Amino acid sequence: MPIAGLGLHVLIALFCAFHVVRSGQQMYWLFILFAFPLLGSIVYFFMIYLPSSRLERGALKAVSAAARALDPGKQLRLARADFEETPTAQNQMRLAAALLDMGEASEAASMYESALKGPFLSDPELRFGAARAMVECQRYNDAVQHLEQLQRDRPEYRTEAVCLLLARSYAGAGQANAAREQFEAAVERFGSFDCKAEYAIWALAMGDQATASRLRVELDRTMARWTAANRELNGPVLRRLNAAQELAKRSANL
């Protein structure tokens, strides 16, 4: 075997060995890599490295996005067909979620409401889904009722998400004091980017520049430490925050 070829095999094995140690893989991979420098590296690359790499995650995400772009209504069609064939509560919940994802909030809200009966009357997933759909179709008072009931019945259920959605529901229902209290409680209790961003969005809409500016400083401090994955994950709420800031600036200049 040529020396140059042997050296390349060893370098590839060393690269894979570094990944073994850094990612906490089983140590037997080190034996495999150096006992079989070429074959071991190939096996490790396809079995361990590639599935955990950004390359594959990015490729899968791109394929998923392309599939949705080519046939955006596929999941809704499948969910509707399954519900029509087998109208179980699970299929009804799946159809309601698919409707909500496709922007059909009004129909989704009706679907969730019709499922909230009998043994599923206290199902937290159904009640939370109904509240989400009602916020999207601006039935804020109905959303408040569902979320307050959910907090009473299941106080441990998705506490941050329920708290934030309730704050947004209070805001939409015109209950400014209740909305502020709920946003403050969410920021104090959870302190997440979402909590601060949603509070800032509401504060901007209310003309409370002092609160919005204070929160933006904290948000910018958090974003300074973000990776590209963090920015992509938080993209939707960040876009809404930036849009709220632009709207507030235009309003101030009128």
pLDDT digits (tens, 9 = 90+) for 11-70: 888 888 877 776 666 777 888 888 887 887 888 777 766 554 444 444 445 545 555 556
> What is the sign, positive or negative, of the torsion defined by CA atoms of 27, 33, 36, 41?
positive
Instruction: Verify that 116 and 181 share a domain, yes or no.
Output: yes
Instruction: Verify that 237 and 144 share a domain, yes or no.
Output: no
Residue 201 has pLDDT above 70, yes or no: yes
Instruction: Verify that 249 and 207 share a domain, yes or no.
Output: yes
Give the pLDDT confidence of 119-170 residue by residue, as tens digits.
Answer: 888 889 999 999 999 999 999 999 999 999 999 999 989 999 999 999 999 9
Q: What is the number of structural domains in the chain?
A: 3
- pLDDT given for residue 55 in this prediction: 45
Q: Which of 190, 212, 236 is the last residue of a domain?
A: 190
Instruction: Verify that 94 and 111 share a domain, yes or no.
Output: yes
Instruction: Verify that 100 and 159 share a domain, yes or no.
Output: yes
Phi first, then psi: give them for residue 86, nearest 5 degrees: -135, 90
Instruction: Report how far residue 71's alpha carbon sits from residue 73's, in angstroms, rounded to the nearest whole number.
Output: 6
**Alpha carbon distances (Å) from 81 to 91, 92, 98, 111:** 9, 11, 12, 15
Instruction: Verify that 103 and 185 share a domain, yes or no.
Output: yes
> Quick one: tokens of 203?
């504060």
Residue located via tokens 């089983």: 26
Q: What is the pTM of this model?
A: 0.69
Give the pLDDT confidence of 79-90 residue by residue, as tens digits.
Answer: 999 999 998 888
228 within some domain:
yes
- pLDDT given for residue 20 in this prediction: 77
Residue 112 has pLDDT above 60, yes or no: yes
**Cβ-proximal residues to 102 (8 Å cutoff; 6+ apart), any chain:** 72, 73, 76
> Quick one: tokens of 65?
């996005």
209 within some domain:
yes
Residues 69, 74, 76, 78, Cα dihedral to 10°: -160
Instruction: Report the percentage of the chain scoring pLDDT > 70.
Output: 85
Mean pLDDT is lowest, of 29-33, 50-54, 186-190, 247-251, for 50-54
Domain around 18: 1-41
